Amino acid sequence: MGETETYTVTGPDGDEESFELPAGLVDVLSEQGEPSTAVVSDVVVQAMAQQAHVIVHHSEGDVPEDIAEMEETAAELFEERFGQPLEEALGHSH
């Protein structure tokens, strides 16, 4: 196994989880001078918004109202962070 870098996420209740990524991978995904923590945070926001979208728009049956509201908030946060609607980034809308 190649070299790795450790990142740590801290939750609102203070719990922490550390994880390893291949050394240099975050640099490949970053723009020049962009901090590695911003890149990892961007990926987390993107992944969570996409997963919420899948749960609400691509699952069978009705979705509870609270989950639909979470998805809407995730899409709004995505747009605030990246300057484009999630549906545009995904290439489709509902």
Q: Please answer whether residues 75 and 85 qualify as being in contact, where contact means their C-beta atoms are separated by less than 8 angstroms.
A: yes
Confidence class for position 61, pLDDT limits 50, 70, 90: confident
Q: Is 77 exposed, middle or buried (0-12, 13-18, 19+ CB in 10 A)?
A: middle
Which amino acid, one-letter code, is at 26? Answer: V
Q: Please answer whether residues 74 and 52 qualify as being in contact, where contact means their C-beta atoms are separated by less than 8 angstroms.
A: yes
CB atoms near residue 75 (< 10 Å): 20
What is the Cβ-side half-sphere exposure of residue 66, based on CA atoms within 13 angstroms? 0
Reported in sequence order, the residue ranges of the chain that DSSP labels E, i.e. its strands, are: 4-10, 16-22
Give the pLDDT confidence of 22-59 residue by residue, as tens digits: 999 999 999 999 999 999 999 999 999 999 999 999 98
pLDDT (0 to 100) of residue 77: 98
